[in-house]
Amino acid sequence: MSADARASAQQGGDVVGDLVIGARSGGPEPEGEGAEQLDGSDGSADAASAASADETTGSPKKKPKQRSFWKELPILVGIALILALVIKTFFVQAFSIPSGSMQNTLQIGDRVLVDKLTPWFGAEPERGEVVVFHDPGGWLSDEPAQQSDNAFVRGVQDVLSFVGLMPSANEKDLIKRVIAVGGDTVECQGTGPVKVNGNALDEPYIFPGNTPCGDKPFGPVQVPDNRIWVMGDHRADSLDSRFHQDQPGGGTVPVDNVVGRAFVVAWPISNWATLPVPDTFDQKGLAAAALPYAPPAAGAAIALPAVWWLRRYRR
């Protein structure tokens, strides 16, 4: 190698013998795509390789384990009992018919559903309704509670009656038909008919062979405010208001004692029926004597504020 060539080679790199190693062109090194190609990779291969590794090594997502039916069953039963208790307390309750005092409208052993909701909104018993009410005192004093002799059965009955799924044997409740309400005058002379405020009632629901008065004529009786006069449909087999006139209230029942109105016979299915108010209680003039001043009072209640507002407006 000549001296000039050797000197040129030393400027560009190292010399090992006659071979130049690490020779450089003297121009700028390649950048951008060229540089990446020199590295031998554009990054896509690494990403694909990483994704493939994740798929092969990653564990599958575990599905949430469903709770066993037997673990959920107590929760479901508890919710059902709570709902039943709420319904019994505020909405509807079942009652059993223990006697024949309401035949043939109700038979012994029938189960009726009683509306307990409307009294919460101030509704009061009306003439002709079949109602359940608490013993006002002395009406059921001689009747023992009907319970099973088996302790286990009694316990089950107590639980079911507490939540409203079965009538209670301990509650002293009665079921009768409302004949008159507070302010009414009611009477029944001889064999009848029963009269309310001087209007005779047509009572097709009375047990066949009975007379409207049964064997206990009464009246006239003035029913006090917030009380009701009740009678059974089986007049010859019903110890109702007629037989308790010597007690406080003169045989009438406080409205506060009324549990609610029986509106349907729910059991047995063969006896299923609704319990509507008979048409005789819708006759004109039945309530006229009880509330003779109601229409004028209502008119005055509306007119007085209207007159006051007009006079104020004219000023």
- Choose the catalytic residue: 88, 116, 168, 176: 176
- Choose the catalytic residue: 96, 101, 161, 241: 101
Q: Is 101 a catalytic residue?
A: yes
Distances (CA, A) of 239 to 179, 190, 235, 242, 245: 14, 18, 8, 7, 11
Report long-range pairs for 74-81 (Cβ below 8 Å, ≥24 apart). Answer: 81/163
Q: Helices then strands (H, E): number in the chain?
A: 6, 14
Q: Say if CB 232 and CB 197 are below 8 A apart.
A: no
Q: Is 172 a catalytic residue?
A: no
* Backbone φ, ψ for residue 151 (5° rounding): -65, -40
How far is residue 115's CA from residue 126's CA, in Å, rounded to a whole number?
14
Give the rounded distance of the alpha carbon of 299 from its chain centre. Answer: 38
Active site residues: 101, 176
